[in-house]
A and B are shown apart, each in its own frame.
Chain A
Amino acid sequence: MKFKWWHGALILALLLAILSPLASSSPDGLERVAEDKGFISTALGPFLEVVPDYAIPGVTNEALATILAGIVGTLILFGIGYGLAELLSARREA
């Protein structure tokens, strides 16, 4: 298979996923405002936990759990994005 531009782009996205343990764990902008203005406690927990906090459950090494979650999510989104675009593509008639 010939190497195409988007193979490189997908590899770049996967490299970012591998870097994910380096991300800052500080609260984000909305969480910061919620803490400062006293409404953080109004947040409800999720109905169902699948991969909470971007860490694959059961993997004891925190960095590895995050990297795996990142890779899984990146590949899922590549598949969904590509598949959806294929469905909407001009190649499909009627």
Chain B
Amino acid sequence: MHIPDGFISTPVAVVGIAVAAGSVAYAVKATSKKMGEKQVPLMGVLAAFIFAAQMLNFPVAGGTSGHLIGAALAAILLGPWAGLLVMTCVLIVQSLIFQDGGLLALGANIFNMGIVPCFVGYYLYRGIALPFRRRKLGIMVGGGVAAWFTVVIASIACAIELATSGTVPLRVALPAMAGVHAVIGIGEGLITAAVLALVLATRADLLELQKA
């Protein structure tokens, strides 16, 4: 869902950059001196894993592919603010080094694939997982369902930006973007639940770290 330059207008891109810069600055403040012994390597491996996993496009119906965003996973394991920092690192490197996602569009991409899915994913996950009596099941179901929602909501944010830019009318962009990402989101949900299962099996204590 990386927006290249040209898809969105300069005003939309500039608003995106301002919102992203403000949010990331706050995220640095919110997480400063709060990273514990375990989070330091966790943030490193999450950034590495999300970058690698994003390269692995999986086919979905109709000659289309999708890939993991990973924001829900990062936010579940690290909390929304540190999760946003991980996603921002991934998106900056993708844009600057790999020309995936435009430079001007970087703010909008951080908004769509960082800010929106980290917070939606984190709070939805907690809302779904906490009432479960079987904790592990709750974590996997909550993580998977929350991850699916993050992809659909990110695609809606992207559609609104495209429409605001005058690139394509909202009545066209919204159903098209949400429709295809409702399918791609199934992959996000399955991968997120699988990684959470792996974490539960090996380092279940990591899932105790995330306090907003």
Task: List residues of chain A with CB under 8 Å of any chain B CB.
Answer: 4-6, 8-10, 12-14, 16-17, 19-20, 22-30, 32-34, 36-37, 39, 42-44, 46-47, 49-54, 66, 69-70, 73-86, 88-90, 92-93
Contact = CB atoms under 8 A, between A and B. Distances in A.
B131 interface: no
Interface stretch (B91-99, B122-130, B137-145): B91-99
A84 B89 contact: yes
Nearest to A8: B202
A46 B20 CA distance: 20
Contacts of B33: 88-90, 92-93
A58 to B, nearest CB: 15
B111 to A, nearest CB: 14
Nearest to B33: A90
Interface residues of B, number: 69
Interface string B72-103: 00000000001001100110011011111011
With most chain B CB atoms within 10 A of its CB, the pick from A4, A39, A76, A84 is A84
A11 to B, nearest CB: 10
23 contacts: A4-B41, A23-B57, A27-B63, A28-B1, A29-B1, A29-B180, A32-B63, A33-B177, A37-B168, A37-B176, A39-B168, A43-B6, A49-B99, A52-B99, A54-B98, A73-B52, A77-B51, A79-B44, A82-B41, A82-B43, A83-B44, A84-B43, A85-B35
Interface in B1-57: 1-7, 28, 31-36, 39-53, 55-57
Given A30-B1, A32-B64, A80-B47, A16 B184 contact: no
Contact of B43 (A70, A75, A76, A85): A85
Nearest to B103: A47
Contacts of A9: 41, 45, 49
Given A37-B168, A90-B34, A44 B47 contact: no
Contacts of A22: 56
Nearest to B64: A32
B84 to A, nearest CB: 12
A52 B43 CA distance: 26
